[in-house]
């Protein structure tokens, strides 16, 4: 008998309802932020000084997403990944299996999913980051909560400090683009819009590769945010915030207040930066991101602690869980389905609306897609034990012996 024969995926009784609900809310928030990157060449447009927020409703929607969602929900999702890592390790160790080997296999499978997603569906994939950075978690698993808390502050401070230094250095250099540079920026934006809205799949694939290369430097700094929330999620799990919330209510409130007090200056900094960006490589661009990287993790922690306080009312938790828990149980499936559905709306092989939808209608599309996901997740989970991608991930991780067909058959 193989060593992992007795180690199967998480059963219904082992799930924590609150985590599934938070995971579902994170999916909604991530989609709301990603929508502008699905719908427009957002970064290139910002550098060119082009805006797609042409109405008052667009501007309100854009600022709402910027202040309350951008970097916040990817932080939330990252925290859940850190918690999921400890859950995985603890369950494996209780069963006496080679859990490190299984976790590495789990990450490699996730990496394959991420690479397929980023190269063939959408360039804004986050799964590859999780898969690669997940190996860091193996080095910190045995660390005490105090170490993890300090590590989360350090990994958050590094990119913020870097952005502020770059902003300071650029402030002494003339950054206003010449008319020729401005024209080049605008022509590039128009070219990208044409490729995604009318180009062939091959042309879109080439542009996707270009976008990956263009964004790779900026995305590199997301490592700080992801690691911050990996570590903080592990800290919360080890201090039993989720498993013994009632006994830790005072600490939950303290964490909520502290995180909000740190988030507010970050929001102010991000707002100042966004208001003063004037195209090109403006120093205010880096001020904006310093503020986002400061407010993103901390405001997400405030959201999570607030949800824990809200869900202390078990009746309220049960009502919310009925609709949102199935979405969270199928998080991987729903994340990938979001990319498939949204690219079909915006790319040439679907409706070809790339570059034509502003933030307001993008937000409406976000809520519409999430409503669809609530419905199909609800009915899917009534019939099956796992989402299709979750089942495949587990099958490739645990092997045929531990994940048999019964896990995918009708739930009892």
242-252 per-position pLDDT tens digit = 989 989 999 99
What's the CA gap between 81 and 89, in Å, rounded? 12
Q: Could you tell me which residues are beta bridge partners of residue 410?
A: 384
The DSSP secondary-structure symbol of 40 reads S
Q: What DSSP line would sit under 80-103, residue for residue?
A: HHHHHHHHHHHHHHHTT--HHHHH
Asked if 162 contacts 221 with a C-beta cutoff of 8 angstroms, the reply is yes
Query: From the CA atom positions of the chain, what is the Rg in Å?
Result: 22
Instruction: Provide the 8-state DSSP code for 278.
Output: -
Give the tokens for residue 123: 């360039």
**pLDDT digit of tens for each residue in the chain (412 aa)?**
344 444 555 544 446 899 999 999 999 999 999 999 999 999 889 888 889 999 999 999 999 999 999 999 999 999 999 999 999 998 888 887 889 999 999 999 999 999 999 999 999 999 999 999 999 999 999 999 999 999 999 999 999 999 999 999 988 775 666 777 778 889 999 999 999 999 999 999 999 999 999 888 778 889 999 999 999 999 999 999 998 998 999 999 999 999 999 999 999 999 999 998 865 567 898 999 999 999 999 999 999 999 999 998 888 888 899 899 999 999 999 999 999 999 999 999 999 999 999 999 999 999 999 999 999 999 999 999 999 999 999 999 987 655 555 455 554 3
pLDDT score for 268? 97
Q: Name every residue whose Cβ is closer than 8 Å to that of residue 169 and which is 6 or more positions away in sequence.
A: 283
pLDDT score, position 281: 65
| Residue among 288, 10, 308, 323 at smallest CA distance from 167 | 288
Q: Which of 212, 285, 213, 214 is nearest to 49 (CA)?
A: 285
Rounded to whole angstroms, the Cα distance separating 305 from 124 reads 28
Q: How does DSSP classify residue 146?
A: H
Instruction: Give pLDDT, residue 174.
Output: 59
| Cα(361)–Cα(339) distance, integer angstroms | 17
How many beta carbons lie within 10 A of that of residue 261, not counting itself?
Answer: 11
Q: State in Å, rounded, how far the first CA of the chain is from the last one.
A: 28
Q: How far is CA 13 from the centre of its chain?
A: 26
The structure tokens listed for 391 are 């089942």
Neighbours of 335 (CB within 10 A): 23
> What is residue 112's predicted lDDT score, i.e. its pLDDT?
98
Nearest to 315 by CA among 28, 8, 87, 17: 17
Domain count across the chain:
1
What range does the domain containing 61 cover? 3-408
Cα 338 to its chain centre, rounded Å, is 12
Q: Are 382 and 411 in contact (CB under 8 A)?
A: yes
Average pLDDT, the chain: 90
Residues paired with residue 384 on neighbouring β-strands, in sequence order:
410
Closest to 411 in 3D by CA, of 374, 376, 378, 386? 386
Determine the pLDDT at residue 278: 66
Residues with Cβ within 8 Å of 67's Cβ and at least 6 positions away in sequence, in order, are 267, 270, 271
d(CA 23, CA 321): 11
Token output for 369: 């897609």
For position 25, what pLDDT does the model report?
97
Instruction: Provide long-range contacts, Cβ within 8 A and 24+ apart, for 215-220.
Output: 215/43, 215/123, 215/124, 218/43, 219/129
């Amino acid at each position: 008998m193989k060593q992992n024969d007795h180690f199967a995926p998480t059963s219904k009784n082992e799930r924590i309802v609150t985590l599934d609900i938070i995971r579902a809310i994170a999916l909604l928030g991530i989609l709301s932020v990603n929508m502008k990157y699905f719908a427009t060449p957002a970064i290139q447009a910002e550098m060119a000084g082009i805006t797609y927020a042409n109405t008052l409703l667009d501007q309100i929607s854009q600022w709402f997403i910027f202040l309350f969602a951008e970097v916040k929900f990817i932080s939330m999702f990252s925290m859940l990944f850190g918690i999921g890592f400890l859950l995985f390790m603890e369950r494996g160790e209780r069963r006496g299996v080679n859990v490190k080997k299984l976790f590495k296999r789990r990450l490699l499978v996730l990496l394959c999913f991420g690479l397929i997603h980023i190269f063939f569906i959408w360039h804004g994939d986050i799964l590859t980051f999780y898969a690669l950075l997940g190996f860091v978690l193996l080095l910190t698993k045995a660390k005490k909560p105090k170490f993890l808390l300090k590590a989360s502050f350090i990994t958050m401070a590094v990119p913020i400090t870097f952005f502020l230094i770059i902003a300071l250095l650029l402030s002494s250099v003339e950054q206003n683009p010449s008319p020729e540079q401005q024209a080049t920026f605008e022509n590039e934006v128009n070219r990208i819009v044409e490729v995604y809205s009318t180009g062939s799949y091959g042309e879109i694939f080439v542009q996707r590769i270009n976008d990956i290369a263009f964004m790779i430097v900026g995305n590199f700094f997301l490592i700080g945010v992801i690691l911050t929330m990996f570590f903080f999620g592990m800290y919360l799990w080890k201090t039993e915030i989720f498993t013994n919330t009632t006994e830790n209510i005072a600490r939950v409130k303290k964490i909520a207040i502290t995180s909000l007090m740190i988030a507010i200056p970050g929001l102010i900094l991000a707002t100042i930066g966004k208001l003063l960006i004037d195209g090109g490589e403006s120093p205010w661009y880096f001020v904006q991101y310093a503020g986002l990287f400061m407010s993103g993790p901390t405001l997400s922690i405030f959201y999570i602690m607030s949800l824990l306080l809200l869900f202390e009312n078990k009746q309220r938790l049960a009502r919310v869980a009925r609709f949102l828990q199935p979405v969270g149980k199928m998080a991987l499936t729903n994340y990938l389905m979001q990319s498939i559905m949204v690219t079909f709306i915006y790319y040439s092989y679907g409706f070809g609306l790339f570059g034509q939808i502003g933030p307001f209608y993008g937000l409406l599309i976000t809520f519409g897609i999430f409503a669809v996901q609530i419905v199909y997740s609800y009915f899917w989970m009534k019939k099956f034990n796992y989402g299709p991608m979750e089942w495949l991930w587990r099958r490739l991780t645990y092997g045929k012996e531990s994940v048999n067909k019964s896990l995918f058959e009708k739930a009892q």
